[in-house]
Amino acid sequence: MTRRQTVTSGTPWEPIVGYARAVRLGNAVYVSGTTATDDRGAVVGRGDPYAQTRQALRNIERALTAAGATMADVVRTRIFAVNIDQWQEIGRAHGEVFATIRPATTMVEVRRLIDPEMLVEIEAEAVIGA
């Protein structure tokens, strides 16, 4: 039987909403939608989609590391942007991190995120050893 491992970021929202930052099952890791917040939960890069994308990806990397994976193991990302006209800044930040990894990726516009200061939310899936 494959053991399920959950990774928490320690935010107060995880137990309230009932989710984990990431879940590892076997060699697969699923990272929940991740935004540009610091360790205290404050939004980083207010008004800057590039900076927010970079911070969200740093947070994803931290969750992957806790689950025993790396960014090189990422096979899929989903990017949710509140303004699709900012796709170039968001895409540039994503591309800098994944230039050689090149996961399957989707970017879509959403009406809003949970905090009006948040411009980008990213999900990731990884397969360790891929």
Query: What is the mean pLDDT of the segment spanning 107-125?
Result: 97
Question: What's the CATH number where 16 sits?
Answer: 3.30.1330.40
Q: The whole model's pTM is what?
A: 0.95
Q: Which residue has the tokens 């207010």?
A: 46
Residue 1 has pLDDT above 70, yes or no: no
| pLDDT one-digit tens code per residue, 39-91 | 888 999 999 999 999 999 999 999 999 999 999 999 999 999 999 999 999 99
Res 130: pLDDT:
74
Average pLDDT of the chain is 95
More confident residue, 10 or 31: 31
CB neighbour class for 99 (10 Å; exposed up to 12, middle 13-18, buried from 19): exposed
Number of domains, the chain: 1
Distance CA 59, CA 69 (A): 13
Is the distance from CB of 4 to CB of 24 less than 8 angstroms? yes
pLDDT of residue 30: 98
Tokens representing 39 are 């360790």
The boundaries of the domain holding residue 101 are 4-127
Q: Could you tell me where the DSSP H helices lie in 1-130?
A: 13-17, 49-66, 87-98
